[in-house]
Every structure is written in structure tokens, then in C-alpha cells.
Structure 1
Amino acid sequence: MRQATGKNLPRDDRGFIGRVESQVDPRTGVRMVSCAFEVDRYYPRCYDALGIAMPPSIRCSVPKRQAEFLAGRYAGVLALQYLPSVHNQCVQIGIGAQRNPLWPSGVVGSISHVAGMAVCAVAPSVEMDFLGIDVELWMSAKTCREVATIISTGRERDLCQAEGMSEHVALTLIFSAKESLFKALYPAVQDFFGFEVAEASELCLESKILTLRLSECFAQTHTLQREYVCHFTLAEQCVQSVVCGVFPGRASTRFIT
């Protein structure tokens, strides 16, 4: 990613926000903005300093949650400034009843944060119907033992093992991909759904693509296509996954696979 400036956003935050980077992901075409942040440097007035409104539900949260929310919304508002339909407008990303981001009209987007880093992905809704992003730290061996059968099936674990993936990489990737899928489809489904409704069916390490397949019952109930492509990036400390695209039957100025 290239380093980004704050554009129209203030940065008088006493060091809470660190390096900010921006790029258009060449694989998906979405605008991605990430920012480092330091929870220890957070204080409530950072919201005013950064021009981000603090919702009442966040005002009651612990400082760590307030800091994560602020960093995510800061990255989100900065990302929106790159979209022609939003550029130079004073926008806020609201929070829904289920803590989901509420995006301006004409925008699809998603936010994730972990261990002092927040990332946001956005795209015009004329180009894309659904978009979800997730970042996860690598799971520990203990966590893998605790969640393996909850977040994955034996077939999924065999699929990753056949590609030479270690257990912690495979399980973290599967978890992150399904989290991205949930974020991508929630606006259409408008309800929570679990890990069991999707299964990893194909994996290509060379192109960093994991294909997820919805159960037939869930797809039919919500009138959804069954297969979704997850683009992932493996880093030293974490995995990042993105699920995005257009629904079948809709004319689009661009088709994202």
C-alpha cells in the first residue's frame, strides 16, 4: 500500500493514529485504507480531534472498544473520500442495530480491526453488490484445538492440509474467510448466520483464492448464489480476507470475480 494523507480529515490526535496507507486492490478493484493506532494513546477527545462522531452505544463501551471503533471509522471515512460520489462531502459511518456499519447511499463497504490496525474496504454500489473484509491474528495451538470443529468441517481441514497448510494457518484462514462472507452478505440477509452455512470447497495458494459454498437450504431461503470467492493475503502476524462481487442477473459496469 502507498502512504496516504488525511485528505479532508484532521489528524490532531496526539499520536493515536499512526501510519495511514491506501491502495486499490488490483485483485478486487476495491479501495482499501488501513491505519495503525495505539490504544494507550487513546482518549475520548480523539473523536472530536479526528472529526468522528461517537455513537451513544460506543460512549458506554470500555476505552479499548472506543479506540477500535474510532480507528475503524477513521479509516472508513478516509476511504470514502476516494469515491467520486462522496469526495469532499462531510460524511459519518453510522452503526446499525447489530453493530453493522451504515454506509452512505451508493456505497458498499466493510471494516475490520485487530491488534492496533484498522482496515476498511469500500466500492461504489454501481460496481459491486456485496463486500466484506476481515483481518485476524494467527490462532494459537490452544485456540485451534478449541474451535476447529466449530468453525470448520473435516473436508475443509483436509482441503487445506492437501495444499500443505499448517493447522493454525488453515483454521485462521477459514475463520477469516467466513467472517468476510458474513459481513458481505449481512446487508442482504439482515440476520445472523453461523459458520455451518458455508464450506470452503476450493483452495488455490498460488492465486490466494479460497472458494466458499453456501448450503443449498440457506442459499434458497435467502435467494442467494451459492459460490463466493475469497481473496486472501497471508502476512507474518495475520491473515486478511476479502469477499466481494455482484449478484447474478444484475447489470454491472464491472464484474468482480
Structure 2
Amino acid sequence: MQAVNATKESGAERHFIGKVQSAVDPRTGVRQVSCEFDSAGYQPTLYPQLGIALPEPIARSLPKRQAGFLAGRYAAALALQHLAPVRNQDLQVGIGEQRNPLWPSGVVGSISHVGSVAVCAVSRRLDMDYLGIDVEVLIPTRVCREIATIVATRRERELLSDQGLSERVALTLIYSAKESLFKALYPSVRDYFGFEVAEAVELRLEEQSLVLRLTERFADKHKLPRDYQCQFTLGEHWIQSVTCGKFPGRANLKAVV
């Protein structure tokens, strides 16, 4: 991805926001923006300086949470600048009752942040009905053993390990993919579903693609297709997943804008 310049140049902002990257992912067609940030350089005055609204629930949270929220919304504001429907609109991304992002009209999007990196993916609603992005640091081996049966079935873990992925990479990938699927579908279903609702059924390692399949019961309940393709990127210490696409018969679904 090519770097873009931050729009502000004050010393405080330079100490908080680091490298910014922006590009259209050729695999999905969605705009992705990432930025590095330093929580140690955070201060509440950065919100007005960067033009980002500070919601009351976030204002009551710990500074680390405020820093991650600000970096994510900053990446979102940069990403929205590239979309025709919102170029002349307010670039604020609101916050819902469940702290889910509320996007401007005509936009689907998703935000994720972990450690010192925030990422955002956006698309025009005309082009995508659902979109979720998630980035995760590789899960430590000890933690993998504690959560393995919660995140994935043995069949899922074997599907990935049979293609040479280590336990840490396999479990982190499944975790991240299912998180991106949740973020993609929640605006339509408004249902806090868990890891057990989806199963990894096909891995195309060369294409960096993982197919997730919803349970028949959940898909029928919400009138959803069962299969979803997740595009992933394997970094040295992290994994990023993006699940996006269009619903067949989209007029029957009332997504929350």
C-alpha cells in the first residue's frame, strides 16, 4: 500500500499518528487504510485536533481505549475521503448502542485495531452489502491451547494444519476470519453470534482465501446464504482478514446503515 500524509501537522499529532497506508485491495475492491499509533503520545485534545468526535461512552473509558478508538476513526476518515458518496459529507463515523460503527449513508465499512495498528475498510453500498475487517497479533501458543476448542473444531484446525500452517497461525487465522465475518453480518442480523455459528470449510492457501460456512439453523433464521469468502493476509507477527460481498436477493435484507 502507498503511504498517505496525515492531514494535521502539530507536534502532538506527529507523536501519536505514525505511518499511514492506503490502497484498494485488488482481491476485494475495497479501500483499506491503516495507521500506526503510539498510545504513549495520546491526549484527549487530539480528538478536536484531528477532527474526530469523542463519544461519551469512549470518554468514560481508559486512555488506552480512547487512543485505539481515535486511531480507528482517523483511519476511517481518511478512507471515506476516497468514496464518492461521502466526499462532500461529514466524515464522522458514529457509534451504535452496541458500540458498533455507524457509517454515513451509502457506505459499508469496518474498523479494527490491535496493539499499535488501526485498520479500516470501506466500500460503496452499491458495490458491497456486507464488509468486515479484523487484524490480530498471532495468538501465543499457551493461549492457543486454552481457547482452541472455543474458537474452532478439530476438523477446522486440521483443515489448516494439513496445509502446513502452525498451530498459532491456524488458530489466529480462524479467529480473525470469524471476527471479520461477525463484523460483516452484524449490521444485517443484529445478533451477537459466536464462533460456533460458522465453520472454516475450505482453505486456498495460494490465494490467501478461507471459506466460512454458517450453520443451517443460523442461516435460515436470518435468511442468509451459508458460504462466505474471507481474504486474509499473513504478516510475520499478525494476520488480517476481510470478509465482504453481496447478498443474493438483497432487497429482502434491511441492513442498518
TM-score (norm: length of structure 2): 0.95
Q: CA separation in 2, counterparts of 1:84 and 1:229?
A: 26
Between Structure 1 and Structure 2, the one with more helix by share is: 2
SS in 2 for 1:15: helix
Matched to 2:116, the amino acid is G
Tell me the distance in 2 between the aligned counterparts of 1:172 and 1:17: 27
Give 5+ residue unaligned stretches, structure 2: 252-257
Q: Counterpart of 1:203?
A: 203
Q: Deviations over 1:8-42 (max 9, x none)?
A: x4343242111111000000000000111000000
Deviations 1:72-107 (A, max 9, x none): 000001100000111143321001111100000100
> Between the two proteins, what is the percent identity of the paired residues?
62
8 Å Cα contact 1:35/1:118 also seen in 2 = yes
- Is 1:176–2:176 an aligned residue pair? yes
2:161 is aligned with 1:161: yes
Q: How does 1:119-198 map to 2 (within 5 A)?
A: 119-198=119-198
Counterpart AA for 2:8: P
Specify the alignment match of 1:254 in structure 2: none
- Work out the CA distance in 2 between the residues paired with 1:11 and 1:118: 19
The match for 2:255 is none
Amino acid aligned to 2:51: G
The one-letter amino acid of 2:19's match is R
Conserved in 1, the CA contact under 8 Å of 2:83 and 2:124? yes
Is the Cα–Cα contact under 8 Å of residues 111 and 134 in structure 2 kept in the other structure?
yes
Q: Which residue of 2 aligns with 1:10?
A: 8
| 1:144 alignment partner, SS class | helix
Residue in 2 aligned with 1:74? 74
Instruction: State how far apart, in whole Å, the 2-side matches of 1:60 and 1:139 are.
Output: 29
Q: Which residue of 2 aligns with 1:94?
A: 94
Q: Tell me the distance in 2 between the aligned counterparts of 1:56 and 1:11.
A: 26
Partner Cα separation in structure 1 for residue 154 and residue 202 of structure 2: 14
Deviations 1:27-58 (A, max 9, x none): 00000001110000000101011010100000
Decide whether the 8 Å contact of 1:19 with 1:35 is kept in 2.
yes
Worse overlay, 56-65 or 88-97: 88-97
Answer whether contact 1:11 1:49 (CA < 8 A) is retained: no
The RMSD of aligned alpha carbons is 1.1
| 1:10–1:51 contact (8 Å) kept in structure 2 | no
Distance 1:44 1:222 in 2: 40
**Distance across 2 between alignment mates of 1:152 and 1:90:** 40
Following superposition, the deviation at residue 188 of structure 1 comes to 0.6
Separation in structure 2 between the aligned mates of residue 11 and residue 160 of structure 1, nearest angstrom: 45
Q: Which residue of 2 aligns with 1:28?
A: 28
- In the alignment, the residues of structure 1 paired with residue 225 and residue 247 of structure 2 have an alpha-carbon distance, to the nearest angstrom, of 7
Count of residues in Structure 1 that have an aligned counterpart in Structure 2: 249
- Contact kept? 1:177, 1:243, Cα under 8 Å: yes
- How far apart in 1 are the matches of 2:210 and 2:121? 19
Structure 2 distance, partners of 1:78, 1:245, is 22
Report the alpha carbon displacement of residue 4 of structure 1 after superposing the two structures with TM. 1.0
